[in-house]
Amino acid sequence: MKAMSAIYGGLLVAIFGVIFLVGSTGFDMGTPRNMGPGMFPIVLSILTIVVGFAVAVGDLVSGNTPQGPFPWRPLFTVGTVIALFALLIEPAGIAVTTMLAIGLMGFFVSRMKPVETLLLGVGLALFLWVVFVLGLGMPLNFLPEAIQ
């Protein structure tokens, strides 16, 4: 039995699509030949809404019904971890922020083993450093400013 039906997941994805669609309407769309800064987020939001509803309707048509209560704890944890990541990435650096985010997610959502959590956090922090700092040249610290 699934703890969370795809109906909930699809509707949640569609809701996020609507939120981003509303947030991106302030940008100029431009034309298909000369796209403005609003073209990509608006089209992506519309696709997200369509896919979310398609998943929800597909699960509803197949006869699946949500099993048990809505899983608020994982949803709250993921939202909180994303907000903490956004707030801490500059002052705490990529390594500490990523390790904290993975640690919280491992503890509260998936109950990962400590060694797995540590290895995933270190690996992801190194990956983010390579991609965003070395690859894209973003001015982010690997460690907190106080340590450097």
* Structural element, H or E, at residue 102: helix 72-105
* Structural element, H or E, at residue 60: helix 39-61
For 98, other C-beta atoms within 10 Å of its C-beta total 25
Higher pLDDT, 114 or 130: 130
Residue type, 52: G
Over residues 42-96, the pLDDT tens digits come to: 999 999 999 999 988 888 788 766 666 777 777 788 888 889 999 998 889 899 9
**How far apart (Å, rounded) are the C-alpha atoms in residues 98 and 1?**
32
6 touches 57 (CB < 8 A): no
